[in-house]
């Protein structure tokens, strides 16, 4: 066991590496065991707090790397508690369009600074939304206003709730994580290297966050859809919600990456938009046991290890091909938002104990890919995306069945005569996915896989398969804003989160919601 001590701003920090066998033998009383191991002032230690935990599986001697904060009798960690919420100022209201991570945390931040959030959400609350998602999976029936993307919590509600981001400059990630813990998430999300909540737990947490918003004076309306807006000069003056006009002060647009009608509305109103690069491809699905074998190189301690994940990236003709949103022990879900299109996405329960592992395998999409749609101006990338989803619907045979192919057959460019099993519930249809995307996109996806499988032995296993399209990786449209976070033309419109093109995941969207509200406060104080 390797141990090192550091002193950071009068804090005692211990970094320790523990073989997984030793860790699991003592996990029932880890605090007591660690006290006997850290050495320095161990007799005075009363609490040990885990700051960071990561698995090192690069070699056969797999271990956990822990970063711990040690508290003695002289100091003690503060208990987590909700921040202080300021009394609401009646004249200061903020309309928040969309109740995904950006909208939720924008509303919470509004309440902290005394502004009343009025949340407008086109979809339904979690409980009602569950029924619509079940109908889609079971019967292939789509509710275009309540599905995997629309409704309370946004697209993240029925995801596996990944809570990490590559960007460390957006704001205080810890505050977002603490909000989740205070509303029911496991405390391990505060220190896991790649924290996630799980799709079985996230809906209840989202409900509790909504309850906090309402209890503190916020307003949340479900089944409320932004259908029009009016502006005079550089200011939005009115919003049409379900065809009823109401006045507004500040407007935060946090509608997510799938609310295409919002892009169409803004374009119709001649409000500036931009086509934006994104990524597309498909979902790869393997037996989870196979991924465990590939990644861990160690069958002996398999029962002690979490379901293995992977992160893969390569370059083909100067463009990236990479894995995206990898879901150990998860399922593939239908993420379309309209009839006549299919989209796949993935999620995992909190224990990640499902039979299959799935991940997006995507490549960068730029102007050269959507050049045939240039006549659509800033919506060119969106129209290209939509055309692929509609083509996939036809290839799948309708009823939200998806075109599918065994991985080895996709690489070999031949249709599968017998498909492998899949977790995708509405059903799969054998098709040659080389016919879904334009030639260059397929080439990058296919050659990228060839490059990966030459290094990752066993990845191209006969039981692996692909389903398509994985097309909603991020928004194909950006709603441009200034450094003060308002739209470049409208001073009281604040594009926010994934739908505006400024975030990519739960945490980055939540942080963007907080940043936008802080910008509104700065403007009000000026």
- Tell me the two tokens of residue 40: 């320095």
- Highest mean pLDDT, choosing among 9-23, 252-266, 449-463: 252-266
Contact between 307 and 357 under an 8 Å Cβ cutoff? The reply is: yes
- 495 bridge partner residues: 253
- For residues 508 and 516, give the distance between their C-alpha atoms in angstroms, rounded to a whole number: 12
Contact between 144 and 137 under an 8 Å Cβ cutoff? The reply is: no
What percent of the chain is helix, strand and coil (3-state, nearest 5)?
Answer: 30, 30, 40
Contact between 475 and 233 under an 8 Å Cβ cutoff? The reply is: no
- Kindly report, residue by residue over 372-399, the tens digit of the pLDDT: 999 999 999 999 999 999 999 999 999 9
Contact between 294 and 308 under an 8 Å Cβ cutoff? The reply is: yes
Q: How confident is the model at residue 6 (pLDDT cuts 50, 70, 90)?
A: very low
To the nearest 10°, the Cα dihedral for 460, 466, 471, 472? -90
**pLDDT higher than 70, residue 299:** no
The pLDDT score that the predictor gives to residue 43 is: 62
Higher pLDDT pick, 490 / 30:
490
- Kindly report, residue by residue over 37-50, the tens digit of the pLDDT: 665 555 667 777 88
Lowest mean pLDDT among 6-10, 139-143, 305-309: 6-10
Rg (CA), the chain: 24
- Domains within the chain, CATH numbers bracketed: 2-72 (3.30.1660), 93-273+479-525 (3.50.50.60), 278-470 (no CATH)
The pLDDT score that the predictor gives to residue 7 is: 40
For 320, the enclosing helix (H) or strand (E) is strand 319-334
Higher pLDDT pick, 181 / 24:
181
- Kindly report, residue by residue over 238-268, the tens digit of the pLDDT: 999 999 999 999 999 999 999 999 999 999 9
pLDDT, the chain, mean:
90
**Three-state SS at 3:** strand
Average confidence (pLDDT) over 87-112: 95
**pLDDT higher than 60, residue 97:** yes
Q: How confident is the model at residue 520 (pLDDT cuts 50, 70, 90)?
A: very high
Contact between 504 and 474 under an 8 Å Cβ cutoff? The reply is: yes
Q: How confident is the model at residue 346 (pLDDT cuts 50, 70, 90)?
A: very high
How many separate helices (H) and strands (E) can be counted in the chain? 12, 22
Percent of the chain with pLDDT over 70: 93
- Kindly report, residue by residue over 434-443, the tens digit of the pLDDT: 999 999 999 9
**pLDDT higher than 50, residue 5:** no
14 C-beta neighbours (distance < 10 Å), count:
21
For 127, the enclosing helix (H) or strand (E) is helix 126-139
The pLDDT score that the predictor gives to residue 226 is: 98
Percent of the chain with pLDDT over 90: 71
Average confidence (pLDDT) over 275-284: 97
The pLDDT score that the predictor gives to residue 15 is: 84
Give yes or no for a cis peptide into 469 (omega within 30° of 0): yes
- For residues 461 and 176, give the distance between their C-alpha atoms in angstroms, rounded to a whole number: 39
Contact between 71 and 77 under an 8 Å Cβ cutoff? The reply is: yes
- 281 bridge partner residues: 362, 470
Higher pLDDT pick, 321 / 7:
321
- For residues 372 and 388, give the distance between their C-alpha atoms in angstroms, rounded to a whole number: 13
Residue 17 C-beta-side C-alpha neighbours within 13 Å: 9
């Amino acid at each position: 066991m390797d141990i090192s001590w550091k002193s950071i701003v009068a804090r005692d920090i211990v970094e320790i590496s523990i073989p997984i066998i030793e860790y699991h033998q003592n996990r029932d009383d880890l605090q007591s065991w660690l006290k006997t191991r850290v050495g320095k002032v161990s007799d005075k230690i009363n609490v040990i707090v885990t700051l960071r935990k990561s698995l090192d599986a690069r070699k056969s001697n797999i271990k956990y790397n822990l970063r711990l904060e040690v508290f003695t009798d002289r100091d003690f960690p503060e208990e987590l508690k909700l921040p202080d919420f300021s009394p609401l100022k009646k004249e200061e209201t903020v309309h928040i369009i969309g109740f995904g991570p950006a909208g939720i945390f924008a509303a919470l931040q509004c309440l902290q600074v005394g502004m009343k959030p009025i949340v407008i959400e086109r979809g339904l609350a979690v409980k009602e939304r569950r029924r619509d998602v079940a109908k889609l999976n079971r019967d292939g029936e789509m509710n275009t206003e309540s599905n995997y993307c629309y409704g309370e919590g946004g697209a993240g509600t029925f995801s596996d709730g990944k809570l990490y981001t590559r960007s460390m400059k957006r704001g205080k990630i810890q505050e977002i994580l603490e909000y989740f813990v205070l509303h029911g998430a496991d405390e391990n999300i505060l220190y896991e290297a790649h924290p996630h909540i799980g799709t079985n737990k996230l809906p209840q947490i989202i409900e509790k966050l909504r309850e906090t918003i309402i209890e503190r004076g916020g307003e949340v309306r479900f089944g409320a859809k932004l259908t029009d807006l009016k502006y005079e000069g550089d200011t939005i003056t009115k919003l049409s919600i379900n065809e009823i006009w109401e006045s507004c002060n500040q407007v935060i647009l946090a509608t997510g990456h799938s609310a295409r009608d919002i892009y169409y509305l803004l374009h119709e109103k001649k409000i500036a938009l931009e086509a934006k690069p994104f990524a597309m491809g498909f979902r790869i699905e393997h037996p989870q046991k196979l991924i465990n074998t590939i990644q861990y190189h160690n069958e002996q301690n398999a029962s002690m290890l979490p379901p293995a994940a992977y992160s893969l990236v390569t370059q083909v003709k100067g463009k990236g091909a990479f894995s995206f949103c990898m879901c150990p022990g998860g399922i593939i879900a239908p993420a379309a938002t309209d009839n006549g299109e299919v989209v796949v996405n993935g999620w995992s329960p909190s224990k990640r104990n499902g039979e299959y592992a799935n991940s997006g395998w995507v490549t960068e999409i730029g102007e050269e890919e959507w050049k045939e749609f240039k006549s659509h101006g800033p919506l060119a990338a969106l129209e290209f995306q939509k055309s692929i989803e509609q083509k996939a619907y036809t290839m799948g045979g309708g009823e939200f069945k998806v075109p599918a192919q065994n991985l080895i057959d996709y690489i070999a460019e031949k249709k599968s005569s017998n498909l492998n099993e899949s977790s995708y519930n509405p059903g799969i249809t054998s098709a040659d996915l080389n016919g879904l995307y334009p030639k260059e996109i397929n080439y990058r996806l296919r050659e990228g896989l060839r490059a990966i499988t030459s290094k990752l032995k066993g990845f191209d296993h006969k039981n692996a398969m692909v389903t398509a399209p994985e097309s909603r990786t991020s928004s194909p449209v950006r709603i441009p804003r200034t450094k003060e976070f308002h739209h470049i033309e409208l001073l009281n419109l604040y594009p926010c989160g994934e739908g505006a093109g400024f975030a990519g995941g739960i945490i980055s969207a939540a942080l963007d919601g907080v940043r936008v509200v802080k910008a509104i406060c700065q403007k009000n104080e000026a």
